[in-house]
Amino acid sequence: MIDKIESRAKLALGTVQFGMNYGVSNQSGQVGGCQLDEVMALAYDSGIKLFDTAPAYGDSERSLSAYIPNYNDIQIVTKTPHFPRKRANPKDLSEFKSTFERSLTNLQVDRVHGLLVHRGTDLLKPGAHSLWAAMELLKAIGKVSFIGASVYCPEELLKLLDIYSIDIVQLPLNILDQRFLQCG
């Protein structure tokens, strides 16, 4: 089933540390000031033009917005909030819409490259089709180029692909976690 997926893997820079203290081995806290300038310049000069952020990452979106005018060809992927209820409901949809608008405001843009459901399992709940429909509408009106989900295991991805026409997926892949490669 996964062999039907076209792979256009891109390296993105995660920006959670632009907005908050994050990471088990993080000794220096939130990245800011001159250090942030250096990180952005190095990333851009190294060909990284895709940046991953989220409203849940503290001030990350605001911090990133300062660099968008200087690096006009960078692409931003942001996320929805997590919806902790067992069933999606109208309150979730309202929160989704207001959070997305706040993200555009924080980023100082009128559109983003990608929008991911922060936890793919939020799309597997009863009633989640309304959330996906709202994301498709944002894509249709040009506020988002690609929609998808952040997933944490291959089984979750396969379930989502059976239900939705996902454009973009964020998944864990590193030297220690190769589950997605091992399953094909």
- pLDDT computed for residue 4 by the predictor: 43
* Residues 88 and 122 sit within 8 Å (Cβ to Cβ): yes
Residue 157: pLDDT band (50, 70, 90) is very high
Phi, psi of 52 (to 5 degrees): -100, 125
Average confidence score pLDDT of the chain: 85
Percent of the chain with pLDDT over 90: 46
Give 24-68 pLDDT, tens digit per residue: 555 565 666 778 888 888 989 999 999 899 898 888 899 888 888
- Low-confidence winner among 59-63, 76-80, 94-98, 133-137 (lowest mean pLDDT): 59-63
Quick one: tokens of 103? Answer: 């993200």
More confident residue, 83 or 1: 83
Whole-angstrom Cα distance, residue 35 to residue 164? 40
Closest CA to 107 of 143, 80, 67, 57: 67
- pLDDT computed for residue 3 by the predictor: 41
Q: Tell me how long the chain is.
A: 184
Give 86-131 pLDDT, tens digit per residue: 988 889 999 999 999 999 999 999 999 999 999 999 999 999 999 9
- pLDDT computed for residue 85 by the predictor: 87
Whole-angstrom Cα distance, residue 139 to residue 134? 9
- The owner of tokens 């506020």 is 143
Whole-angstrom Cα distance, residue 104 to residue 123? 22
Closest CA to 51 of 20, 16, 6, 80: 16
- pLDDT computed for residue 58 by the predictor: 83
C-alpha pair distances (Å), 95 with each of 70, 144, 172, 177: 31, 18, 26, 32
CA angle 107, 108, 111 (to 5 degrees): 80
Indicate if the pLDDT at residue 183 is higher than 50. Answer: yes
DSSP 90-124: HHHHHHHHHHHHHHHHHHT-S-EEEEEESSGGGGG
Give 5-36 pLDDT, tens digit per residue: 455 557 787 777 776 555 555 556 566 677 88
